[in-house]
Amino acid sequence: MKWSLYEGGIREPFLVRWPGHVPAGRTDSTTVLGSVDLFPTLCALAGVALPKDAGVDGLDASGAFLGTPMSRGKPLFWEYGRQADYLFPGEPGARSPNLAIRDGKWKLLVNADGTGTELYDLAADSNETKNLAAERPDEAKRLRAAVLAWRQTVP
């Protein structure tokens, strides 16, 4: 559901239309983008340099916009529901841990206090039905450390 960091809550279609620049009628189901990529991408498409002190987390995805699928070179991070007592509408059982990281085919969810680790291979299990954290402890540990370190940088 949309009130969580599971794929059903954060995965969205993204449409780009720019006649004469963006190939019409194409579908790219491999490029992974986040809203953090919009600023550097739009700057690149407009021919505007990013400010040196911008400190953006996103990537220039202009190639993907123009028809060439891209491989993401760095992870995406999310946080949702920072307050523990945040009212969660609808289905309380659908509430995800409040932090997530996507790195390649791997997605890890964990609470900010380090509990509730869930690891999914999105290439094999896009519906996040099989938590692989116990089977892939090294991958879970790496991603958990990365997302918890990222969380410390967020005001």
pLDDT digits (tens, 9 = 90+) for 103-142: 999 999 999 999 999 999 999 999 999 999 999 999 999 9
The pLDDT value recorded for residue 37 is 95
Domain-located, residue 118: yes
Domain-located, residue 19: no
The pLDDT value recorded for residue 96 is 84
Write down the H helix ranges in 28-135. Answer: 38-46, 62-65
Domain-located, residue 66: no
Number of domains in the chain: 1
For 38-84, how does the pLDDT look when each residue is reduced to its tens digit (9 = 90+)? 999 999 999 999 988 888 889 999 999 999 999 998 999 999 876 65
The pLDDT value recorded for residue 39 is 94
Q: How confident is the model over 22-33, as a mean pLDDT?
A: 91
Domain-located, residue 105: yes
Domain-located, residue 127: yes
Distance in angstroms (rounded) separating the CA atoms of residues 132 and 110: 13
